[in-house]
Amino acid sequence: MQAQTVYGALHGLQTLSQLCQFNFSSRVIEILMTPWIINDQPRFSFRGLLIDTSRHYQPLPIIKNVIDSMAYAKLNVLHWHIVDTQSFPLEIPSYPKLWDGAYSTSERYTMADAAEIVSYAQKRGINVLAELDVPGHALSWGKGYPSLWPSKDCQEPLDVSNEFTFKVIDGILSDFSKVFKYKFVHLGGDEVNTSCWTLTPHVSKWLKEHSMNESQAYQYFVLQAQKIALLHGYEIVNWEETFNNFGNKLSPKTVVHNWLGGGVAQRVVAAGLRCIVSNQDKWYLDHLDTTWEQFYMNEPLTNITKSEQQKLVIGGEVCMWGETVDASDIQQTIWPRAAAAAERLWTPYDKLAKEAKQVTGRLAHFRCLLNQRGIAAAPLAADTPLTQPGRSAPLEPGSCYLQ
């Protein structure tokens, strides 16, 4: 085997392992139809999976199990949506009261835990993209530091008028930089309802003093957070609303994360920025009615024909939002649908199946391989009154390969 990097060698060994099978008659591991000559490389450099530990806490062994499963499918970025409105489970040494926003004292991650996740992932060729979603989705921050809220009655988004808000963001990103060594950090920026800013007297006064309306304050906040991240050596990922509202003001080092729907990636790359595709109608794993066939047929480069613009789409990501998943069902909701997207992100376009039904056999085989490796991947379910494509159980006895 030859590879340009150790991670290329890991992917090659992964391919080799999937060619191996145990012969129960001769009791040896064998590779059929030899010799094999495989020249392989990924189509996209960013092949991601998001997990959400705010809506439900995921214990460390579960996160490691997810990382193992990602390696089997050659996904290489774990997007860790660590905190959100519901809970703040991560220790931040610079501001130790932030994790007062955890669901409980046992549903927390120390910085040592975070370092362990990063190290575990790195050994399997996976980067960890940490997300700090600001200024919305941040109510839990104020459990430890109430002054981050505009007021006790209006707790989100973070208080744009308070300099302490940006000191806390600086402290968090300083602590992040010691553990999360991936070149990107995700700063969120989505779904920001700014009404609290105008309804809260001291924030409204600050806006008037600075000649800002709500949308200008939203832009100010996002750009301030970007400046802080850049000072800590990060390049930035932001959800697409930032681009949709003030794309020409974003740092040139911004990667725009598309999620709302089609056509966005086309506009992002036309503006000269990089893009990650996660359109929710096809690549959101929490949408249990989205079939694996839809995951497979979702093409990140739709309507992007110029080669220099195609290169700005660095890849895609499937998103396992945590509202209805915890340790009991996360893997059966991720797999096998994430594997359908993983093939599209890895395989050259002209080698992809033109119809999803051509993939059924090998996806079923891969799902059984995941089961054999201790990953609780669900069957390839059809959308029937008894099942949901996104999280199904076997309907009757039978071989794994036929379910």
Q: Which residues are catalytic?
A: 191
Q: ∠381-385-389 over CA atoms, to 5°?
A: 25
Residues 82 and 87: their CA atoms lie apart, in Å, by 9
Contact by Cβ (8 Å): 258, 268: yes
Residues 179 and 57: their CA atoms lie apart, in Å, by 20
Residues 104 and 88: their CA atoms lie apart, in Å, by 10
Look up residue 189 and give its amino acid.
G
- Identify the CA nearest to 30 among candidates 19, 41, 39, 38: 19
Please give the structure tokens belonging to residue 162: 């308070």
Cα 55 to the center of its chain, rounded Å: 14
In order of 51, 172, 181, 262, the CA distances from 118 in angstroms are 14, 17, 8, 32
Residues 273 and 282: their CA atoms lie apart, in Å, by 23
Contact by Cβ (8 Å): 329, 60: no
Contact by Cβ (8 Å): 230, 180: no
* Beta strands 313-320 and 46-52, pairing class: parallel
Please give the structure tokens belonging to residue 18: 């999937």
